[in-house]
């Protein structure tokens, strides 16, 4: 792997992980507010299915979907799958007036593994940085990200469906050094 490829992968990794890792911490303690046209609950299987213009909010996190399925496993971890044309999410970054947002045809969240997977026509954007692919995965526990291209990611601008990332240059901080003090004059 060339140094250039390594730098690109590291930058892509930082784009994905810096957003998801630094999501608004206060959101964790907020209640989940769900709206939908219909709700079906199967208590025996611990599965809830929301359909029709689904909107989930939890603090600054907002998810829009046509259908959302939430399942709780035997240890109390929640797992969800949202479907849409597309399904979208948006969440404020911790300590910044900036959001991470994304979209795909299906988004899966595994609460036990703390893993997010976005399928088909997937994209994630943080600030002005964006990555597109057919599949985007982020595993918060291992801090690992993966983006895969494919025919389902194809668009008129990207007919081969290749992974595409646009990463803006980081703003350089300008440091000014104090003007040199006047040396005492010799008399």
Dump pLDDT digits (tens) for 124-151: 888 888 889 999 988 777 778 899 998 8
Examine residue 86 and say whether the peptide bond preceding it is cis (omega within 30 degrees of 0): yes
Lowest mean pLDDT among 91-100, 119-128, 134-143, 172-181: 172-181
C-beta atoms surrounding 9 within 10 Å: 14
Superfamily of chain region 3-166: Lipopolysaccharide (LPS) transport protein A like domain (2.60.450.10)
Bigger pLDDT: 89 vs 175: 89
Q: Which residue has the tokens 């989930």?
A: 56
Residues forming a β-bridge with 49: 40, 69
Residues 94 and 28: their CA atoms lie apart, in Å, by: 12
Checking 83-89 for CB contacts under 8 A at 24+ apart, the result is 86/121, 87/63, 88/63, 88/64, 89/61, 89/62, 89/63, 89/64
Using pLDDT thresholds of 50, 70 and 90, give the confidence band for residue 11.
Answer: very low
29-85 per-position pLDDT tens digit: 788 889 999 999 999 999 999 999 999 888 888 899 999 999 989 998 888 999 999
- Find the range with the poorest average confidence among 120-124, 127-131, 163-167, 173-177: 173-177
> Locate tokens 């998801």: which residue?
20
CA distance 29 to 32: 9
The greatest distance separating any two alpha carbons of the chain, rounded to the nearest whole angstrom, comes to 96
**DSSP letters along 71-138, please?**
EE-TTS-EEEEEEEEEEEEEEEBTTSS-EEEEEEEEEEEETTTTEEEEEEEEEEEETTEEEEEEEEEE
pLDDT of residue 15: 45
Say what the pTM is.
0.74
State residue 13's pLDDT score. Answer: 43
Residue 95 and residue 26: Cα distance in Å, rounded?
Answer: 10
Compute the distance between CA of residue 22 and CA of residue 88 in angstroms, rounded to an integer. 19
């Amino acid at each position: 792997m060339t140094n250039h490829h390594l730098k690109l992968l590291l930058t892509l990794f930082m784009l994905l992980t810096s957003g998801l890792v630094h999501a608004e911490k206060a959101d964790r303690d907020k209640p989940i507010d769900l709206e939908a046209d219909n709700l079906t609950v199967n208590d025996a299987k611990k599965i809830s299915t929301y359909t029709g213009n689904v909107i989930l909010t939890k603090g600054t996190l907002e998810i829009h979907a046509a259908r959302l399925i939430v399942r709780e496993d035997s240890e109390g971890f929640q797992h969800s799958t949202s479907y849409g044309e597309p399904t979208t999410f948006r969440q404020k970054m911790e300590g910044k007036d900036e959001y991470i947002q994304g979209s795909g045809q299906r988004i899966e969240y595994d609460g036990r593994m703390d893993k997010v997977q976005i399928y088909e026509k997937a994209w994630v954007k943080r600030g002005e940085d964006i990555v597109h692919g057919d599949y985007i995965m982020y595993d918060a526990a291992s801090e690992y990200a993966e983006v895969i291209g494919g025919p389902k990611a194809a668009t008129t601008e990207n007919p081969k469906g290749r992974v595409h990332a646009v990463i803006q240059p980081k703003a350089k901080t300008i440091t000014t050094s104090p003007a040199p003090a006047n040396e005492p004059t010799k008399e």
